[in-house]
Amino acid sequence: MQEELNEFERLEVWELVPRPDKVMVITLKWIYKVKLDELRGILKNKARLVARGYRQEEGIDFEESFAPVARLEAIRIFLAYAAHKSMVFYQMDVKTAFLNGNLREEVYVSQPDEFVDPDNPNHVYKLKKALYGLKQAPRAWYDMLSSFLLSQDFSKGSVDPTLFIRRNDNDLLLVQIYVDDIIFVASTLELCDLFANLMCSKFKMLMMGKISFFLGLQISQNPRGIFINQSKYALESLKKYGFESCDPMDTPMMGKSKLYEDREGKAVDPSHYHGMIGTLLYLIASRPDLQFAICMCARILLLL
């Protein structure tokens, strides 16, 4: 928790001020999370201070909240192109990314629990930077990162605004961003090192080396190409919905199945079924052959 607040001070996220009249003060809360690697090993324990942004009102507390993120199809194309060019993928993560985004609006938040200033217990914090939980935080972070990359001779993709390209004579550097997760490739190792040093000079980064796990995709690289699979995601999904003991089938699916009823003939919970379909749809990233069967199952949503 103290480490998180130290980042607030380093980035000059806020300033303590007397509570102004007739303004909404957004309360804060601590979120605790255990960060795991692709093998479910513990990487670290995290405590993050977030704002209760659901109390914000559009037009008063924020104007614009949309921030583009890379589509899964775009990431697959990115991987395929780089593999075709025999480029090596690298991955990095921006620590406390949202705290770098500048706020356009005037936002006040309460002092966090257990860290109230004893000399000014009734004061509040006026935000200079975005805070996790605020509606406009993703937009503020994207604007900051995008502006920085464009100032460093990158160009933004005309179709995909999360793709950034930089050309040095005959050399090429490609960067794909997904909020605070960044993957990049270059035609030379020197260009990769240049980009890594560039990002470290501006933001606090976690360098993760060659890519192995990204957005639920397990990725392996070798001289023959790049291979993606979602075996870990698939096994976790089976466990989540209680299908670990099911047997695989190699015959075509039945044309008419009462999927809106469970094994006991009871009507299925619509929200539960929606979640199952969404989980299955994400598997199409590595198994496009599943699309027909999943879409057939999705048709039942109209009956729920």
Number of domains making up the chain:
3
Whether residue 269 sits in one domain with residue 214? no
Residues 120 and 265 in one domain: no
Q: Are residues 200 and 268 in the same domain?
A: no
CB contact at 8 A, 23 and 57 = no
Q: How far apart are the first and last CA of the chain?
A: 44
203 found inside a domain: yes
Taken in order 166, 172, 178, 180, the sign of the CA dihedral is negative
Q: Are residues 55 and 191 in the same domain?
A: no
Torsion sign, CA atoms 257, 259, 261, 262 = positive
Judge if 173 and 251 occupy the same domain: no
pLDDT of the residue at 205: 93
Beta bridge partners, 124, equal: 17
We report the CATH number of the domain holding residue 89 as 3.30.310
Whether 149 is covered by a domain: the verdict is yes
One DSSP character per residue, 95-161 reads: TTGGGGSBPSS--EEPPPTT---TT-TT-EEEESB--TT-TTHHHHHHHHHHHHHHHTT-EE-SS-T
Upper half-sphere CA count for residue 155 (Cβ side, 13 Å): 7
Shared-domain flag, residues 256 and 215 = no
Rounded CA gap, 204 and 221, in Å?
Answer: 27
- pTM for the complete prediction? 0.83
Q: Say yes or no: 118 and 58 in one domain.
A: yes
Residues paired with 17 in a beta bridge: 124
Residue 211 lies in a domain: yes
What confidence score (pLDDT) does residue 182 get?
Answer: 95
Domain identity same for 8 and 57:
yes
Domain identity same for 85 and 157: yes
Q: Is residue 70 part of a domain?
A: no
Nearest Cα residue to 183 out of 139, 137, 161, 214: 214
Q: Within a domain: residue 191?
A: yes
| 85 lies in the same domain as 176 | yes
Burial class (CB in 10 A: 0-12, 13-18, 19+), 14: buried
Contact 233, 282 (CB under 8 A): yes
Assigned domain for 112 exists: yes
* Alpha helical stretches, state H, the chain: 2-10, 72-84, 137-151, 189-202, 231-240, 270-282, 291-298
- Which of 228, 260, 292 marks a domain boundary? 228
- Give pLDDT, residue 137: 94
Rounded CA separation 260/275 (Å): 14
Query: Taking the chain (304 residues) in consecutive chunks of 10 residues, what is each chunk's mean pLDDT?
Result: 87 93 91 75 82 87 87 90 90 92 92 89 93 94 96 94 93 94 93 95 92 89 86 90 82 66 71 90 90 85 68
Domain-located, residue 69: no
- Domain range holding 289? 232-303
Asked if 128 and 8 sit in the same domain, the reply is: yes
Question: Among 228, 244, 275, where does a domain finish?
Answer: 228
Same structural domain for residues 199 and 280? no
Can you give the pLDDT at residue 151? 96
